[in-house]
Structure 1
Amino acid sequence: MKSWYLLYCKRGEQKRATLHLENQGVECYSPEIEVEKILRGKRQRVCEPLFPSYMFIAIDLEVGPSFTTIRSTRGVMDFVRFGGQPYQVPRGIIERLQCYQACDEACAQLPKHGQKVQITAGQFAGFEAIYQEPDGEKRSILLITLINKEVTIKVDNAQVDW
């Protein structure tokens, strides 16, 4: 059965290590986070590793590859160790990280600020609105026009057609 371990990679070589490990049949997981940065004078959103220079790998010690083979892979420095032995990461931690990443991807599907949306259910069904921003995980703040006046409302995401 596969167990998860934590690897320390050479600085800036996480992608190289992932490529070479996957070629050896090792399952790799390196959670990423989207951050806003100013690059070349422009504000941009970029994905960066959540844990720079670290990655999780799943291997079955009976099938291989061995610890020595993994340690000698390009881009890999060594296993994170406690008491001289590679630390076996509990499966629940990996599942929780993957769950959080799935939630972030769902939030990324929201429309952009200023985009027109159609309200499909609820008391404002049939209204066209302008998306403003998320309000938690399941609601959004929209701008609608009522009697020639713009009004901000909070609507459940299930009631809006992006």
Structure 2
Amino acid sequence: MWPVPYFEEYKTMAQWYVMYTKPRQESVALENLQRQNYSVFFPQARVQKRKAGQGSVQVVEPLFPRYMFVNLEVGVDDFSKLRSTKGCMDLVKFGGKPAIVPLELIGLIQGQVDGDFVLDLLALNRLEVGGEVRVAEGPFEGMMGKIAGQKSDQRVIVLLNFLGAERSVELARSQLDKA
């Protein structure tokens, strides 16, 4: 069961803790923690990745790889079962005591994710006319430029300064990074 936005019902007694998971086992840990009726918050991020032979593809991956948040109440929840939960390693601890995550931090992250608990990092990296960019791949790799116009959803016109003058070049969005 996913937590209620901003977690109002947990303000008084329960605290948020950080669960450290086994490598690439976040979904296994999430499923098993939820099966045991723990309240878990597992934020993810939508990002663009470059894959050999496929170009640029959108993927959803953990916002904090190998970490998720678990809401627990001392004296009510059984902390000892967490270590033996499939996919989980242990709670993050400092000085032997589980580290408590401030409710405000959980609320801040919760306020940035969508209904599927995914933070769209692509929206934060949108290219706009007049914006500065760096060419990430291709013959102009490493050059800085400015977006002059949009050709289509996948292509933009970039002004690059080379050979002593500003030249317009049509490039794929996937070739560019926001400066």
CA 1:45 to 1:61, structure 2 compared with 1: closer, same or farther past 3 Å?
A: same
- Name the SS of the counterpart of 2:33 in structure 1: helix
Partner of 1:17: 29
Q: Is the 2:45–2:63 contact (alpha carbons within 8 Å) kept by the matching residues of 1?
A: yes
In the alignment, which residue of structure 2 is the partner of 1:47? 60
Over 3 Å counting, the alpha-carbon distance change for 1:104 and 1:19 in structure 2 is closer
Distance 2:103 2:20 in 1: 18
* Stretches of structure 2 lacking an aligned partner (at least 5 in a row): 1-12, 132-148, 151-179
Alignment equivalent of 2:40, drawn from 21, 28, 34: 28
User: For 1:2-151, what aligned pairs fall within 5 Å after superposition?
Assistant: 2-39=14-51, 41-42=53-54, 43-64=56-77, 66-102=78-114, 104=119, 133=128
1:54 is displaced (CA, Å) by 0.7
TM-score (norm 1): 0.61
Task: Measure how far apart 1:104 and its partner are.
Answer: 4.5
1:63 counterpart letter in structure 2 = V
Tell me the distance in 1 between the aligned counterparts of 2:104 and 2:79: 22
TM-score if structure 2 supplies the norm length?
0.56
In structure 1, list runs of 5 or more residues that go unmatched: 114-131, 137-141, 144-162
RMSD of aligned C-alpha atoms? 3.0
